[in-house]
Amino acid sequence: MIYLQLFWEFFKVGLFAVGGGLATLPFLYEIAAKTGWFDSASIIDMIAVSESTPGPIGVNMATYTGFKIHGISGGITATFGLILPSIIVAVLVQIFITKFKESKNVQNIFNGLRPASMALVTSAGIGVITSCLIFPKLLLAGNFADGLHIKGIIFAVVLFYLMRRYKLHPVLFIAVSAAAGLIIGF
């Protein structure tokens, strides 16, 4: 019974959370309030763990929550519930798009979508990098020494240069950066 309920709660999250991982948050608070499976404090823990391990944040949160409620099988049930609506909707959308691929209107829509999609990805990248390297409040207060994370900024610039210069696999850069973080700390 708990499986059905877990599956159903996370199925609803998967179905209604539009826009990715953190969009699942308000739904998690709702589940917490409704079922009492976990409290708001443990949601903060879930976010921290989800963000510092690989994988989609929404999926990680489902696995973590499911596990906390009902062990390994709970984790699997919640994860499956969360991703199932995504799969169903994405398959249906793709069947529809493939059918109308030749349509001039669909092509025009995509001409508008692509730059917007790029801008959202850029914005996410800029958002995260600023939150760890630049602190506007301190800058505005005239405190340039603490407002800019100089070590981190130099590291970011060096990484970018290396990526442009040597087209190596992203995994290599991730591994090197984890090591650099351990040794230097950013």
Partner 1 sequence: MKNIFDLFWTFAKMGAVCFGGGYAMLPLLEREIVQKKGWATQEEILDYYALGQCTPGVIAVNVSTFVGHKQGGVAGAFAATAGMVFIPSIIILVIANLLTNFAENVYVQRAFSGIQVCVCVLVLNAVAMLWKKSVKNKLGVFIFAAVLILSLFTDISSSFFVLTAGLVGLIAGKISEIKGDKK
Q: Which of residues 128-147 bind partner 1 (CB under 8 A)?
A: 128-129, 132-133
Binds partner 1 by CB under 8 A, chosen from 4, 141, 150, 179: 179
Report residue 27 as tokens: 């739904």
For position 59 contacting partner 1 by CB under 8 A, the verdict is yes
Instruction: For residue 56, count CB atoms less than 10 angstroms from its CB and return exposed for 0-12, middle for 13-18, buried for 19 or more.
Output: middle
Report residue 129 as tokens: 């990098």
For position 110 contacting partner 1 by CB under 8 A, the verdict is yes
Name the segment binding partner 1 (CB under 8 A); options: 2-10, 28-36, 70-78, 134-142: 70-78
Binds partner 1 by CB under 8 A, chosen from 3, 5, 15, 147: 15
Report residue 85 as tokens: 């609506």
Report residue 101 as tokens: 């691929």
Is-contact 134 147, C-beta < 8 A? Answer: yes
Is-contact 149 186, C-beta < 8 A? Answer: yes
For position 180 contacting partner 1 by CB under 8 A, the verdict is yes
Binds partner 1 by CB under 8 A, chosen from 25, 49, 138, 148: 49
For position 18 contacting partner 1 by CB under 8 A, the verdict is yes
For position 40 contacting partner 1 by CB under 8 A, the verdict is no
Residues 174, 177: Cα–Cα separation, whole Å = 5
- Closer residue to partner 1, CB minimum distance, 128 or 141: 128
The least CB distance from residue 173 to partner 1, in Å, is 5
For position 105 contacting partner 1 by CB under 8 A, the verdict is yes
Binds partner 1 by CB under 8 A, chosen from 25, 38, 85, 134: 85
For position 27 contacting partner 1 by CB under 8 A, the verdict is no
Residues 43, 64: Cα–Cα separation, whole Å = 10
148 has which bridge partners? Answer: 134
For position 127 contacting partner 1 by CB under 8 A, the verdict is yes
Residues 95, 121: Cα–Cα separation, whole Å = 25
